[in-house]
Structure 1
Amino acid sequence: MIYPQNFEPKIGFDQIRQLLSEKCLSTLGAERVADMTFSDHFEEVEERLNLVTEFVRIIQEEDNFPAQYFFDVRPSLKRIRIEGMYLDEQELFDLRRSLETIRDIVRFLEKDDIEGEDSPYPCLRNLAKDILAFPQLIQKINNILSPYGKIKDNASSELARIRRELANTMNSISRSLNSILRNAQSEGVVDKDVTPTMRDGRLVIPVAPGLKRKIKGIVHDESASGKTVFIEPAEVVEANNRIRELEGDERREIIRILIEFSNLLRPSIPDVLQSYEFLAEIDFIRAKSLFSLQISGIKPALENTQLLDWTMAVHPLLQLSLAKHDKKVVPLDIELTEKQRILIISGPNAGGKSVCLKTVGLLQYMLQCGMLVPMHERSHAGIFSSIFIDIGDEQSIEDDLSTYSSHLTNMKIMMKNCNERSLILIDEFGGGTEPQIGGAIAEAVLKRFNQKLTFGVITTHYQNLKHFAEDHEGVVNGAMLYDRHLMQALFQLQIGNPGSSFAVEIARKIGLPEDVIADASEIVGSEYINADKYLQDIVRDKRYWEGKRQTIRQREKHMEDTISRYQAEMEDLQKSRKEIIRKAKEEAEQLVQEANARIENTIRTIKEAQAEKEKTRQARQELTKFRESMEALASKEQEEKIALKMQKLQEKQNRKKEKKNKDTNNTLSAQELAAQKAKQEAERLASIAPGAMVKIKGQSSVGEVLEVNGKNAIIAFGSIKTTVKLERLERTNSAPQKVDNSTKSTFVSNQTQDSMYEKKLNFKQDIDVRGMRGDEALQAVTYFIDDAILVGMSRVRILHGTGTGILRTLIRQYLQTVPGIKHFADEHVQFGGAGITVVDL
């Protein structure tokens, strides 16, 4: 494909790339956006568009697509290809979470195959069919890392031993320090509220400088103000040294574990990298899908030919820009086919010609890059092998090029390389030089384009190009409409006639003196002015008759619908009539059978009476009367039934007509009712605010709203928090029910109970957050407290150390906000003191 290097900026595609990059979850997708290319292969474009279309459906219809962790660990994986290199804790944590995301995405896309059904996302499923998920690697990492990304104590037996000894030594130091501290406090050497703290990794006691000799030990540091020194008592020096040694042993053991895992991972790195390419592709497709939803993009009917048949096409960047000011873009209807390949657009300045040109270039380029485009579903689009564009001023001091020279250079490139599969886009064709010769050269170039059967959109003001379009097959005129009465552009393209520049009208609107306008009209000649006016009248009349034609078409469509409806009703009536007659015949047949039975009974009676004349005569009379009564009854019943059925059908037709008239007359009231319902729904959603009592529609459990995020709300049902869509909630005045933990809930499955029992058996009542950053420690404590409440623990311990006291303060501030906590305090001095917080639940 061939097009100028500055093609993308001129049509605005570089801004599209920027918007797409912002929607990517990681550098994985951002790299794909940067490498996104134009394709002229029909099958490739079709597949790209199908992938995005399917993902748009996932975003609209699915709530559980795994898109939490898109980490780019490819640089880390490439680094550890060297023997001896290893992944650190954070890199290992990112690897595990991203591998789990890849595994979950593959499972999501293959779930219907597993269930024996056809996948609703066949293209995405095909993309994921050969992707490896590495469950063994994930399990191995789970054996090494905790859920919060820290090396587990049981990652190896040696690490478990080191950490046990480290904990015992720390507890011993803590007890010794607390004993020394109490003695110092009783002697008045240290204030009552002082606690042991950490300096350079060693537990020390803060003391005033004047009293530092009262405590035997090593001075490690002093405060910035000089009012406090930090002393390590002699009794704990050796123990602190031992802690340093154990910490060194711990680091070496962790590195050994990480090196061992990296050695295990190294042979699989090429396959893992391939899986990350899949993750990058998913991130890229997701970004394009989100952007498609933002601009209301769709996949038009794609054909493997050169074609533009677009309805209600919109420039996406202009659409987003105007939407910020509550304005709408005027959509573009355009058609380029084998019979009208080149469109010559004329019309007033600032009438939308250049926007029309850029819309065609941008949407076609987006489409062949695999992006959905904003246009109507009935649109048809084709594939072009190359796109050429000539927009704007390309003056160059370095290359000694004027505006006209640059245009001619572009024309030369286009004429040399264009063919029947090319699309050319030229703005102000022939401009930049003396009009007469510029128009002549432009007409000659246009003739070459037409001979090469090239497709294109060209804007111009030259009359000779408009005449050329009228006289040559394959070229067609188009006009940007202008309202001469309101003196404003309509930004609508109309194909079939050339447009007027409205130079006189625009000059008069701007306020140019009438004598100047009169002089200009005299200079150009009355013939030109009249021709321009005639052209304006033609355009105006065409707009008028086009409106009339649309109205007639709508009425004809309405008439055809009405005729079809009445024909269907007549067919139903005929079917009903036939059904009534059929049932009547069946009933008559049944009466005949009853009569035959009566006749046979009468004959039997005559035979039994041995042919007595009197009895025979009576039997014959009874039979005659019965036959006459049956015939009369059958005839009367049949007539009554048919009449009744016909009456019911007529009443049904009348009711339909009355209902239709009523619906027609009450359209406004229905709209008002819909608006009233919308208002009530908005008020209901507004009433669901933090602190409100709500329940899920169709359920009786009452919960409290903790937080509202967009269309979702976080609800607390007792000690359980859950996220629910606002549309599923309703406000209630009832108080939330208290949960009785001793009562077994009838809605909890046995599998869930078994899982909870196993979780309770494996739950540890202590958590160690020393050495973590504040946010990491708070996250770990949050999960720990939630699990403790979930499994029903009555008491847990949080080991945060003393240090500067910041970690202790942060954790206790959080504990004050948890409703399930009854009380928390320091551990007993003998068991850790202020370095441990005991929490009663």
Structure 2
Amino acid sequence: MNKKIFETLEYQKVKDKLKPYLTSDNGKQELANLEPMVNQDQIQRALTETLDGADAYRLKGGIPIARLANISPQMKRLEIGATLSGLELSQVTKMLRTTQDVLNFFKKLQEEKIEFRTLYTTVDKLQALPEISKRLMKSIEGDGHITNEASDKLFGIRNRISSTESEIRAKMDGYTRGKDAKYLSDSIITMRDGRYVIPVMAQYRSHFGGVVHDQSASGQTMYIEPQAVMELNNRLRQNQVEEKTEEERILTELSESLIPYREDLLNNAKILGHLDFINAKARYAAEIKATEPTISEQNQVHFRQARHPLVDPKKIVPNDIDLGEDYKALIITGPNTGGKTITLKTFGLLQLMAQSGLFIPVSENSQMGIFTEIFADIGDEQSIEQNLSTFSSHMDNIVKILDQIDERSLVLFDELGGGTDPKEGAALAIAILDRVGSSGSYVMATTHYPELKAYGYNRPETMNASMEFDTESLEPTYKLLVGIPGSSNAFDIATRLGIEPGVIMQARSLIDQDSQDLSAMIADLSARQKEAADRAAKLKVEVAEAESLHKDLANEYQKLRNSKDQYLEKAKLEANKLVEDTEEKTDVIIKRLRKMEMQGGAAIKENQLIDSKSELNALHQAPNLKKNRVLQRAKAKQALKPNDDVMVTSYGQRGSLLRQTDKKHWEVQMGIIKMKVPTDEIEKLAPEKEQPQKNHTTIRRSSSSVKPTLDLRGKRYEEAMTEVDRYVDSALLAGYPMVTIVHGKGTGALRKGITEYLQRNRQVKHFEYAAPNAGGNGATVVQFK
């Protein structure tokens, strides 16, 4: 694509907006090489990568790419056998560390089942190289410094250096702090030529012996290495040389270890740079609130609510811009400062961005085309050097454009035919537009010429448009009106500004009737179009509200149906659970009865056991049954009435119903005891058949089901007293001679209530507080008669 269009539409400024988001040299290089593409598959892949990057940025804040230098020069040096410096190796190390971070990042995303369209495939091409990474990270720090762990020998050398330096400083401290300090010009230790020295006043230079390495500018201070530390300095210097030699050996060894992996390292750096570039595209898209356009195979462009990316969003008025479906030429007319040129530039720049794989500032469901070339003739290009006027300069540019256009070209003309005689300029503009149309190119042009206002009505695939102007406020609205040619509104503006009515009338009389009719027609069309647009906008809002309401109602209705089904299923499951619990209790009772019979108790007929078991089994239903008739019949059979034989489940005792005391309780005769029992603890039994006279054995509830101790701590008074009443009856039936009731000390109200109850109960023989080591007055021991 021609380079001039990039300058005309300020494409480079858009690229500059991405730079702050890049952290790698390879990413910056990829941005520098970015240009619009013309291959649909390449464009789609680039847009899809941007979409993946936007998802990663939205979900995780972006792909973790560190600041990476370009390692290509290092790899070229390795190719010729050179040794890399510590800093160069640290740059390779950082790239490998980032590689591992990126691999871990995407591995975690895969574990979280986050889907991407292209990124996983791209990341799979990275090579972790764990052994090389581990060796480098162990040996090289971020600033290129070689660590002590790089080799055992280096570690030993540096220890010797540290020890020697400590000895030197200890001796030197004796000079700076001892009796010899008076011979020094300053009590400090410094270095000259890599050796430790002290600043001695010139007149005492011979006091310390040794070697003079330097002197001050005035000559009053000599920097002397005392004789006493010369041997230590020599040893230090020797160790430093050994350190340097060992460091060079380590760097050579590390560099040689990278040679077999040169291609892998370069490939990793390239992929990381590409991921960095994807990150930048995603972050810039978020900044300008851009979206992904779909690609039209028919080359039909539909930009919805398009905005110029370089203009402050608070100042720009978004517009719908279409080209290619109903018309391939759009002629925008109207006065200056109405927004014609910015609309032209917006359309062209957004198309360049989209073809570069960038998201563009448009609404959802926008559509882009693909143009092999985009040409533009915009602005004043007067050239003094070439002695060309504005008109000549435009014509020179247009000639070059007409020589290159074809059916896949987009041409943008600003003020076509301007800069010359209006009549001739208008005729030339019409001829140029016809020439562009004959080549099949797409064109968008702006003009002042009234002759072009009717152009769209007379040419196929051509549409008029204008920028809306508010005649009340005398200001442009910057709204694009498609289908309506523009009007200068000169007379209206002049009238509102105070020009005398007579002058306005004379001016109107000077223009021909056709022009007046055309202006009237445009004004009428503008008014009708605005009315229709306002009505459409109102209807759109109402339809959206209606659709939203309908959607909410549908959702609530579905939730209601779902809730109903869920509650029914839950109720049935709870009913089944209750039946299952009852079956378990029944099985316990039956086993106990059989055990008693085997031990010589009263005979219990098997058919009674089977009948009871069948009744309980009949209560069970499948959760998906809509009407449980079995449960209803079983419930009817369980209806209670006086004199029915029943099982009191809470005591495990058989009894006979006397009377119903209220809706939830019955009075039950169990042996010699009459009790008030809740209805839900009563199960109806089949009546016992008369048995032959035998030795009867009283069946008592196993004492294992009644504990010898009742703990009432933490319970309310009424609840506790009811439980005491039941517990005493159960203990009597179980045959306990003695029980313990733990009531705690508290306020004493519960203890007093239990004492009064035990005093009234005729079955209680004696009661007293427990022993001090068994609860004292927090528990009461009860003996039965």
Q: Same fold (TM over 0.5)?
A: yes
Relative distance call for 1:422 and 1:179 in structure 2 (3 A) is same
Specify the alignment match of 1:538 in structure 2: 525
Q: Distance in 1 between matches of 2:567 and 2:65?
A: 62
Relative distance call for 1:530 and 1:594 in structure 2 (3 A) is closer
Contact 2:471 2:493 in 1 (8 A): no
Q: Give the AA of the match of 1:164.
A: N
Quick check: 1:336 aligned with 2:333? no
Specify the alignment match of 2:127 in structure 1: 132
Q: Deviations over 1:264-293 (max 9, x none)?
A: 222322331122111221222222222212
Quick check: 1:109 aligned with 2:106? yes
Specify the alignment match of 1:6 in structure 2: 4
In the TM superposition, what are the counterparts of 1:325-724 in structure 2 within 5 Å? 327-507=314-494, 520-525=507-512, 527-559=514-546, 586=627
Match of 1:252 among 242, 245, 248: 245
Contact 1:304 1:382 in 2 (8 A): yes
Relative distance call for 1:399 and 1:580 in structure 2 (3 A) is closer
State the shift of 1:112 in Å. 4.5
Q: Match of 1:489, SS?
A: strand
State the shift of 1:127 in Å. 1.6
Contact 1:109 1:121 in 2 (8 A): no
Q: Distance in 2 between matches of 1:25 and 1:195?
A: 45
Specify the alignment match of 2:588 in structure 1: none
State the shift of 1:12 in Å. 1.4
Q: Distance in 2 between matches of 1:200 and 1:347?
A: 80
Q: Deviations over 1:409-450 (max 9, x none)?
A: 443344343333222211112222222122122212222333
State the shift of 1:66 in Å. 2.2
Match of 1:91 among 69, 88, 91: 88
Q: Match of 1:37, SS?
A: coil
Q: Distance in 2 between matches of 1:596 and 1:157?
A: 92
Q: Give the AA of the match of 1:292.
A: A
Specify the alignment match of 2:115 in structure 1: 120
Specify the alignment match of 1:211 in structure 2: 204
Relative distance call for 1:536 and 1:58 in structure 2 (3 A) is same
Q: Distance in 2 between matches of 1:241 and 1:591?
A: 108
Deviates most, 295-304 or 526-535? 526-535
State the shift of 1:252 in Å. 2.3
Q: Give the AA of the match of 1:98.
A: M
Q: Distance in 2 between matches of 1:579 and 1:381?
A: 48
State the shift of 1:26 in Å. 3.4
Contact 1:21 1:29 in 2 (8 A): no
Q: Give the AA of the match of 1:543.
A: K
Structure 2 unaligned residues grouped into runs of 5+: 573-624, 640-785
Contact 1:69 1:101 in 2 (8 A): no
State the shift of 1:96 in Å. 0.5
Q: Give the AA of the match of 1:23.
A: Y
Deviates most, 151-160 or 231-240? 151-160
Relative distance call for 1:563 and 1:290 in structure 2 (3 A) is closer
Q: Give the AA of the match of 2:436.
A: F
Contact 2:48 2:117 in 1 (8 A): no
State the shift of 1:512 in Å. 6.9
Relative distance call for 1:515 and 1:248 in structure 2 (3 A) is farther
State the shift of 1:530 in Å. 4.9
In the TM superposition, what are the counterparts of 1:276-287 in structure 2 within 5 Å? 276-287=269-280
Where relative contact order (Cα < 8 A, 6+ residues apart) is larger, the structure is: 1
Relative distance call for 1:18 and 1:576 in structure 2 (3 A) is closer
Specify the alignment match of 2:303 in structure 1: 310
State the shift of 1:24 in Å. 1.9
Q: Distance in 1 between matches of 2:129 and 2:171?
A: 49
Q: Give the AA of the match of 1:176.
A: K
Q: Give the AA of the match of 1:189.
A: Y
Q: Distance in 2 between matches of 1:275 and 1:590?
A: 71
State the shift of 1:573 in Å. 9.8
Contact 1:477 1:495 in 2 (8 A): yes
State the shift of 1:546 in Å. 1.9
Relative distance call for 1:404 and 1:485 in structure 2 (3 A) is same
Q: Give the AA of the match of 2:515.
A: Y
Specify the alignment match of 1:156 in structure 2: 151
Q: Distance in 2 between matches of 1:562 and 1:104?
A: 47
Contact 1:477 1:498 in 2 (8 A): yes
Quick check: 1:261 aligned with 2:254? yes
State the shift of 1:338 in Å. 2.6
Q: Distance in 2 between matches of 1:290 and 1:576?
A: 43
TM-score by length of 1: 0.63
Q: Distance in 2 between matches of 1:104 and 1:283?
A: 13
Specify the alignment match of 2:136 in structure 1: 141
Q: What's the C-alpha RMSD, in Å, of the aligned pairs?
A: 3.5
Q: Distance in 2 between matches of 1:274 and 1:588?
A: 73
Contact 2:161 2:236 in 1 (8 A): yes
Specify the alignment match of 1:32 in structure 2: 30
Relative distance call for 1:206 and 1:99 in structure 2 (3 A) is same
State the shift of 1:358 in Å. 0.2
Q: Which has the higher helix share?
A: 1
Specify the alignment match of 2:97 in structure 1: 100
Q: Give the AA of the match of 1:478.
A: A
Specify the alignment match of 2:194 in structure 1: 201
Relative distance call for 1:458 and 1:147 in structure 2 (3 A) is closer
Q: Match of 1:80, SS?
A: helix
Q: Deviations over 1:552-587 (max 9, x none)?
A: 343355456657777888999999999999x99958
State the shift of 1:484 in Å. 0.3
Relative distance call for 1:502 and 1:168 in structure 2 (3 A) is same
Q: Deviations over 1:576-615 (max 9, x none)?
A: 999999x9995889778888999xxxxxxxxxxxxxxxxx
Quick check: 1:272 aligned with 2:270? no
Quick check: 1:179 aligned with 2:174? yes
Q: Distance in 2 between matches of 1:381 and 1:535?
A: 31
Contact 1:343 1:478 in 2 (8 A): yes
In the TM superposition, what are the counterparts of 1:757-776 in structure 2 within 5 Å? none
Contact 2:304 2:319 in 1 (8 A): yes
Q: Distance in 2 between matches of 1:112 and 1:340?
A: 46
State the shift of 1:109 in Å. 2.7
- How many pairs align? 585
Q: Deviations over 1:373-410 (max 9, x none)?
A: 11111322232222121111233345454333333344
Relative distance call for 1:502 and 1:71 in structure 2 (3 A) is same
Structure 1 unaligned residues grouped into runs of 5+: 599-841
Q: Match of 1:213, SS?
A: coil
Q: Deviations over 1:455-499 (max 9, x none)?
A: 221111223322120123311111100000100000000111111
Q: Match of 1:214, SS?
A: coil
Specify the alignment match of 1:222 in structure 2: 215
Contact 1:425 1:457 in 2 (8 A): yes
Q: Match of 1:243, SS?
A: helix
Q: Distance in 2 between matches of 1:543 and 1:126?
A: 51
Q: Deviations over 1:709-754 (max 9, x none)?
A: xxxxxxxxxxxxxxxxxxxxxxxxxxxxxxxxxxxxxxxxxxxxxx
Q: Deviations over 1:774-808 (max 9, x none)?
A: xxxxxxxxxxxxxxxxxxxxxxxxxxxxxxxxxxx
Q: Distance in 1 between matches of 2:378 and 2:114?
A: 46
Q: Match of 1:316, SS?
A: coil
Q: Give the AA of the match of 1:349.
A: N
Q: Distance in 2 between matches of 1:242 and 1:562?
A: 89
Q: Match of 2:315, SS?
A: coil
Match of 1:71 among 69, 72, 82: 69
Specify the alignment match of 2:183 in structure 1: 189
Contact 2:406 2:441 in 1 (8 A): yes
Q: Match of 2:55, SS?
A: helix
Q: Distance in 2 between matches of 1:11 and 1:97?
A: 39
Relative distance call for 1:554 and 1:18 in structure 2 (3 A) is closer
Q: Distance in 2 between matches of 1:580 and 1:158?
A: 77
